[in-house]
Amino acid sequence: MTATTTTDAIVQVGALATEYSLTIWNFAGDSLIIIVPVLIFFAFARSEGRGPFVAVLLSFYCAYALYLTFPYASFLPTAPALTALLAQVGLYFALTLVFYLILRRVVVSDFLYIGILGLIILSFLATAFLIALAYHIFPVAAVYNFTPALDALFAAKAYFWWWFAAPAIGLFFLAR
């Protein structure tokens, strides 16, 4: 479409600039949603050790099992949306913390080896696991709209199982 006047040209340039700036902003938001948790997991693994990191990964699974069968979920708030989200995420986090403490004490050894690349991959898989939970278990959609790029990776129900199993599969192949 060609501009017929200077005003039309300015409007078209403004529309293009807005579209591209929104695209860049969405890309930056997607990047932060993935990169920040990956860096947190990686830093935790580097500072606390591989054993505690594996305990965190395994505690995600244990907490999920109890979260699904939690008999008092009806007592959690359902409105407003942010309060409902925080209550559900808080419950899951509390269950994860309990299982982390248990697994750290009894199961996980500090004598396992996971290389730097393995830590990065496992950190990414742990992040993907949590994002998949956000899409399919927690009511995040009522509070935050993910971009189409993340929707393509995580919204499909068929992918949920793969993202859910990914940290366990990664541990199987990367931990020695």
Summarize pLDDT for 103-130 with one digit per residue, the tens: 888 776 667 788 899 999 999 999 999 9
pLDDT band of 88, cuts 50, 70, 90: very high
Q: What is the pLDDT of residue 125?
A: 95
pLDDT, mean over the chain: 84
5, 136, 173 from 140: Cα distances, Å: 45, 9, 31
Q: Which of 6, 1, 113, 137 is nearest to 60 (CA)?
A: 137
Q: What is the pLDDT of residue 12?
A: 66
* CA–centroid distance for 93 within its chain: 13
Instruction: Please determine, for residue 37, whether its predicted confidence score (pLDDT) is greater than 90.
Output: yes
Give start and end residues of each alpha helix (H) in the chain: 6-48, 50-68, 81-106, 116-136, 148-154, 157-174
Q: What is the pLDDT of residue 97?
A: 96
pLDDT band of 27, cuts 50, 70, 90: low
Q: What percent of the chain has pLDDT over 90?
A: 40
Q: What is the pLDDT of residue 14?
A: 62
Q: Cα(165)–Cα(159) distance, rounded to whole angstroms?
A: 10
pTM equals: 0.76
Q: What is the pLDDT of residue 162?
A: 93
For residues 19-26, give the mean pLDDT: 59
Higher pLDDT, 28 or 68: 68
pLDDT band of 31, cuts 50, 70, 90: confident
